[in-house]
Structure formats: structure tokens, C-alpha cells
Amino acid sequence: MTAQEAPRPHFELDPSAGPVGLTRQLCNIPSVSGDERGIADAVEAMLRTHAPHLALTRDGDTLIARTELGRDRRVAIAGHLDTVPINANLPVRDELDPATGEAVIWGRGTVDMKAGVAVQLALAVELTAPAVDLTWVWYDHEEVASELSGLGRAMRNHPELFDADFAILGEPSNGTIEGGCNGTLRARVELHGTRAHSARSWMGVNAIHRAGVLLDRLASWEAARIVVDGLEYREGLNAVRIEGGVAGNVIPDRCVIEVNYRFAPSRSADEAVGVVREFFADADTVEIVDLAPGARPGLDAPLAQGFVAAVGAVPTAKLGWTDVSRFSALGIPAVNFGPGNALLAHADDERVPVAQIEESAAALRAWLAQA
């Protein structure tokens, strides 16, 4: 350590606190994307001390812990360690929800998704002889660009560790099962014009005015509702950013609209690109800058059917994109399951019901004991 470097803080996790106590402990370890080293160190130390039955591999700030019991089926269960930036909402505190009166843990990461990780960690330590072999994965860099994902990196670096028959991602789902996920695409749609002095605007072509036609078309676009394997997904096509302008007295010769297309998992990535290119066929250029396919619900897998029965609630569709897509791309059916209301993810008043943490742990424990 150089003289300029400060020692890294040391954090400890105590699995005897159970999933609720672990939620508080995990949330109080700051782990904004790019700063997951402290929480990864704490998770690794806890597993090495309290879970000797797990074979542990570390890849950067991603941890992969596996049972090797010789079972004929394997389930992967994953959750991310990072959060969006803190905004005066740590340390966590115990409150009563103002709307429902139920006991909640309030603070950054409680919903997305340290309560889900706490459930997983508690069960990873507790379940030494589950009915299926387990691959637990806790990974870094989920809340940022997909190419930085610790899960994606670990899958590339250690493909042999990701063979599984079924996968569960601990994304917040109110303690119910959300199948699959929508795909997501971002594109930069560029319109050209001709510069001119604004006092003689008729000598130019205003690229920003040209964009108005496309913006009107976007505003009138109606979201499709598409049923995939029994679950209804809702698509979305929206402008999320716009750039243009040269100076206060210049007719602009360029305008760029950034759009985000959320597409049902019945569409392939190539089909989604085709939809966007056709919609903006009159633009000068359409550049695809980010593309991640969706994932079908995965509920027809035998293990999934047993899990649905254990949770005891009717599954719904996951409308956002999640890392179930990465498992699906490997041919592994995957679902989302975790405590917390996704509508509160990233909110300053993020909070998770204590009872939902306990219920999620009980359902997952019961299923893994007899799956």
C-alpha cells in the first residue's frame, strides 16, 4: 500500500442473523457499481468460514459457489451485489410502511436486490444436502452497461461452472415468480439538414424540425401486448434522449434521437432490429448501440413447474430486462424470484417488507429440500 492509498474498510457478515439480518448487513456495505470489492470480500469470507460444503471460485468481484453432491439435476441461483448510487438512504433503518403499516427495511439496495441476495446467502450456508445440486452466483456490475456485467464475464471465463437445468435470478418480484423478460434495444436515429443563418432560415433545412415528424410518430405508437407461453408481455418504443443545435443563430444541420425498444421475448434480436429500422426508415441513419435479447418464460421445464407449486402464486411476465436472458442464451430456462416491489427499485424511499423476505426464504428452502 502506498502512502497515498487509504486502507480498504473491512466488513463482516453473520449468517446466524438469517435472511432479514443479512439484508440489513448487506445493505450497510456500500457497493455502488464499480465499488463491489468490499461486499465481495465479505461474502467470500463468510462462505469460506460458514459454508465449507461449497466449492468456491472467484472471478474479479463475482463469486461462484457450487455443491458437488452428484445429484442428477442442477439449479443455478444468482443475484447481483451492486446498487445504483446512494442518495442519503444509508444506513438502512426499520420502519412501518406508510401505506400498509407493515414492517419494512428502508434504504438503498433493500429492493434491488440485497434482500434477494440475503435470502440466497442464508440458504447457501444452511442447505448442505439439497435435493438438487446448486450453483450460487453473486456478481458485480449489473446496474451499468451490459458489457461490464460480472455475470457475463464469469460465464465467458468459466463456462464449465454454468451447466444447469434451471436458473433463478433474485430480482425483486414481490415474492412471486416472474417468467422470462423483455428484450431491450437502444438506437441512435440521426436526421440531417443544412446549416444557414437563422435570419435567412429558408436557405437551410432544419434537422430539429425534421425530428418532429418522428417524435409525433413515436407519441402515437401503441404498445403491443404479446402473449408468450401463457404470459403477457407489453412492448415499448420511446425516445429517451435528443441532441441537436449549433448556436443561437444557426439553423441546425443534425439532430439525433436516442430510442429504447423493449420487445417481447417471442422476437429475436434480429427481428427487433428490423422493427426499429422499418419504423425509422425515413431517417438518414439508424445506429444500434445496445442490444440484449429477451428470455421466454421457461415455465414449461419440470423444475420450474415444481417451483411454481412451492411458491403458490400465479406467475406473471417480467416486463424489464434481467439477466435471465444470459441463462436463456445458454439454453437454461430461467425465472425471476425475489422479495421487494420492483416499482421501488432505485427509488430514494426503497424499502422491502420484512415478512416478504421471510416468506421468500421459506418458499425457496422448501422447494430446494424436495425438488
State residue 5's pLDDT score. Answer: 57
Known catalytic residue at 178: no
List the one residue out of 123, 46, 119, 112 whose CA is nearest residue 81.
Answer: 112
Res 9: pLDDT: 79
Alpha helices by DSSP H, the chain = 18-27, 37-50, 115-126, 150-157, 207-220, 269-279, 302-311, 324-329, 354-370
Of 370 and 3, more confident = 370
* Selection from 196, 211, 190, 193 nearest residue 251 by Cα: 196
Cβ 167 vs Cβ 107: under 8 Å: no
pLDDT exceeds cutoff 80 at 2: no
Which residue bears the cell 439484508? 23
Cα angle 324-325-330, degrees, rounded to a multiple of 5: 100
> Among residues 133, 142, 178, 190, which one is catalytic?
142
Report which residue type is found at 354.
Answer: V
Q: How far is CA 224 from CA 168, 237, 287, 340, in A?
A: 27, 10, 23, 27
List, in sequence order, every residue forming a beta bridge with 258; answer none if it has no partner. 188, 241
Q: What is the pLDDT of residue 1?
A: 47
pLDDT digits (tens, 9 = 90+) for 287-333: 999 999 999 998 988 999 999 999 999 999 998 899 999 999 999 99
DSSP 228-254: ETTEEEE-EEEEEEEEE---TTEE-SE
Give the pLDDT score at 10: 86
pLDDT digits (tens, 9 = 90+) for 104-124: 999 999 999 999 999 999 999
Residue 72 is a catalytic residue: no
- This model's pTM is above 0.85: yes
CB 199 within 8 A of CB 249: yes
* Average of per-residue pLDDT values in the chain: 95
Which residue in the list 36, 82, 171, 235 is annotated as catalytic?
A: 82
Q: Is 180 helix (H, G, I), strand (E, B) or coil?
A: coil
